[in-house]
């Protein structure tokens, strides 16, 4: 195995000889979320006694692409936006990960999210690597035409760096099925034939999968059910609080509501709403479809996003942004289980505090894995031009995500560690084996 140059034998040398070389590239990605992700990776590496040479490689994205995206705006002026695609690892398969449109997108954030994708796909046993993309833009300030122009030019700039065998984007914050349809169309126009396998999360009419739209939220609910089961509880009759009412949060709230949970509070960027007797989620969805925000929903009291996180409940599902639970508020969280629908909503310090307080944190790479599992199913269906029923999709997703939960629980129990380190530990273990088997080229 050590012929590959990635085995244990060179490890002592590697760590003492490389600091200057590595510091320079580390600076490039430095940022709170990226640093947190690397810290978790290092801790997990220690737990499973990962080969240090392999771990060093895992800490660095394989490729980062920065593109400038000129867009003709509705007033006929041209504005130039900055777009990113970070390809973290393709050891297990093509890069896979969403595209985010948000005003705070940075290279560092995209790199952190790409890194998390690698370990999410590894943990879930998918034949996919990790990537992520984004454009620094407030999508709410774009018209539909401007958003389409932006998406098409970004896709064209990425060119053949994406593709069904290379890198397969999907929706993330600020993008949706329509955005994926534009990406798929642009890519297909440029290669000269329809290629639905280039993106996932696209509309069913252009080769998307049934069940993909609600998949991340449904996965959050499957993981919440497993967590509750460990506490001797059932979803029916439990109380749940959801931060973020976009794709992930609204579906998580709906599926939990359908299973008899009482959703006492939800929020979005406009603020939160609270009803201790439980919100009527289908009715709230109609309200949001019309008003665009949860604010002002009649059968509720307003509440801030900060207060919402600290409400007493069985399940707290942060499904909006990163860094929402930190050292500053972790001591006041009253949930029994935190199920991370969003990527990176709890930072490292808060994870430790919650673990010490016996609050079960089901981490992002496990809890929001429903989306990428069904994206994988969509990719397979697109490549085969053969489609499954929604029940097949949901049941197969349940099996994969529940299997991953059991694997994480096993390592958590064996090593007496928190769920985040255990999830990363299992993910690192699979990737480590694959990297050692494939070896280093050239040796």
Kindly state whether residue 247 participates in binding ligand NAD, applying the rule CB under 6 A.
yes
| Position among 181, 183, 248, 309 found at the interface with ligand NAD (CB under 6 A) | 248
Distance CA 424, CA 130 (A): 14
| Position among 342, 361, 408, 428 found at the interface with ligand NAD (CB under 6 A) | 342
- As to burial, measured by CB atoms within 10 angstroms (0-12 exposed, 13-18 middle, 19+ buried), residue 99 is buried
The DSSP output letter for 208 is P
Q: Of 6 and 29, which has the nearer Cβ to ligand NAD? A: 29
Does the active-site annotation cover 132? yes
3-state secondary structure of 302: strand
User: How far is it between the farthest Cα atoms of the chain?
Assistant: 67
| Position among 110, 173, 180, 242 found at the interface with ligand NAD (CB under 6 A) | 173
Kindly state whether residue 378 participates in binding ligand NAD, applying the rule CB under 6 A.
no
CA angle, residues 216, 33, 86, in degrees to nearest 5: 75
Side-chain half-sphere exposure of 106, counting CA atoms within 13 A:
11
Query: Mind giving me the DSSP string for 111-136?
Result: HHHHHHHHHHHHHTT-S--EEEEEEE
Q: Which residue is nearest to ligand NAD (CB)?
A: 246
C-beta atoms surrounding 100 within 10 Å = 24
Kindly state whether residue 244 participates in binding ligand NAD, applying the rule CB under 6 A.
yes
With CB under 6 A as the contact rule, which of the stretches 180-188, 228-236, 319-327, 353-361 interacts with ligand NAD?
319-327
| Position among 73, 166, 204, 269 found at the interface with ligand NAD (CB under 6 A) | 269
Beta strand segments in 306-400, E: 313-318, 335-339, 360-362
Shortest Å, Cβ 318 to ligand NAD: 9
| Position among 122, 149, 267, 347 found at the interface with ligand NAD (CB under 6 A) | 267
With CB under 6 A as the contact rule, which of the stretches 22-30, 84-92, 245-253, 402-410 interacts with ligand NAD?
245-253
Kindly state whether residue 171 participates in binding ligand NAD, applying the rule CB under 6 A.
yes
Distance CA 229, CA 227 (A): 5
Q: Of 228 and 253, which has the nearer Cβ to ligand NAD? A: 253
| Position among 216, 238, 264, 421 found at the interface with ligand NAD (CB under 6 A) | 216
Q: What's phi and psi for 181, nearest 5 deg?
A: -65, -40
With CB under 6 A as the contact rule, which of the stretches 27-35, 104-112, 169-177, 225-233 interacts with ligand NAD?
169-177
Shortest Å, Cβ 210 to ligand NAD: 15
CA angle, residues 30, 174, 386, in degrees to nearest 5: 105
Q: Which of 96, 132, 226, 262 is catalytic?
A: 132
**Per-residue 3-state assignment (H helix, E strand, C coil) for 373-391:** HHHHHHHHHHHHCCCCCHH
Q: Of 94 and 371, which has the nearer Cβ to ligand NAD? A: 371
Kindly state whether residue 285 participates in binding ligand NAD, applying the rule CB under 6 A.
no
Shortest Å, Cβ 99 to ligand NAD: 10
Question: How many angstroms from the chain centroid is the CA of residue 95?
Answer: 14
List interacting residues with ligand NAD (CB under 6 A).
Answer: 171-174, 216, 243-249, 267-269, 305, 319-321, 341-343, 368, 371
- Catalytic (active-site) positions: 132
């Amino acid at each position: 195995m050590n012929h590959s140059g990635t085995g244990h034998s060179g490890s002592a040398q590697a760590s003492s000889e490389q600091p200057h070389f590595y510091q320079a590239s580390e600076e490039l990605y430095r940022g709170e979320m990226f640093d947190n992700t690397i810290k978790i990776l290092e801790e997990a590496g220690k737990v499973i006694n990962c080969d240090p040479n392999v771990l060093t490689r895992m800490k660095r994205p394989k490729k980062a692409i920065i593109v400038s995206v000129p867009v003709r705006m509705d007033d006929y002026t041209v504005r130039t936006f900055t777009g990113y695609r970070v390809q973290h690892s393709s050891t297990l398969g093509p890069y896979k990960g969403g595209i985010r449109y948000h005003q705070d997108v940075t290279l560092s954030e995209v790199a952190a999210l790409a890194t998390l994708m690698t370990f999410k796909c590894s943990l879930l046993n998918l034949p996919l690597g990790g990537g992520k993309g984004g454009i620094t833009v407030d999508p709410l300030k774009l018209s539909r035409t401007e958003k389409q122009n932006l998406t098409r030019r970004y896709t064209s700039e990425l060119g053949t760096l994406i593709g069904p065998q290379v890198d397969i984007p999907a929706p993330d914050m600020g993008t949706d099925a329509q955005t994926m349809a534009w990406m798929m169309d642009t890519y297909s126009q440029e290669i000269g034939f329809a290629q639905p396998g280039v993106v996932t999360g696209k509309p069913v009419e252009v080769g998307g999968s049934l069940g993909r739209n609600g998949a991340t939220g449904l996965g959050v609910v499957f993981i919440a059910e497993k967590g509750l089961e460990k506490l001797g509880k059932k979803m029916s009759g439990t109380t749940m609080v959801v931060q973020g009412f976009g794709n992930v949060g609204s579906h998580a709230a709906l599926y939990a509501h359908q299973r008899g949970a009482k959703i006492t509070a939800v929020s979005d960027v406009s603020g939160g709403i609270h009803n201790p007797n439980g919100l009527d989620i289908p009715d709230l969805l109609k309200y949001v479809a019309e008003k665009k925000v949860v604010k002002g929903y009649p059968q509720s009291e307003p509440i801030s996003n900060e207060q919402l996180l600290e409400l007493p409940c069985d399940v707290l599902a942060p499904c909006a942004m990163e860094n929402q639970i930190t050292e500053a508020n972790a001591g006041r969280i009253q949930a029994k289980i935190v199920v991370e629908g969003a990527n990176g909503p709890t930072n490292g310090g808060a994870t430790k505090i919650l673990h010490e307080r016996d609050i079960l944190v089901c981490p992002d790479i496990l809890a929001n894995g429903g989306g990428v599992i069904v994206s994988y199913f969509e990719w397979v269906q697109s490549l085969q031009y053969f489609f499954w029923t929604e029940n097949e999709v949901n049941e197969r997703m349940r099996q994969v995500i529940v299997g991953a939960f059991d694997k994480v629980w096993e390592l958590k129990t064996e090593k007496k560690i928190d769920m985040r380190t255990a999830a990363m530990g299992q993910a690192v273990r699979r990737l480590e084996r694959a990297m050692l088997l494939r070896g280093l080229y050239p040796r």
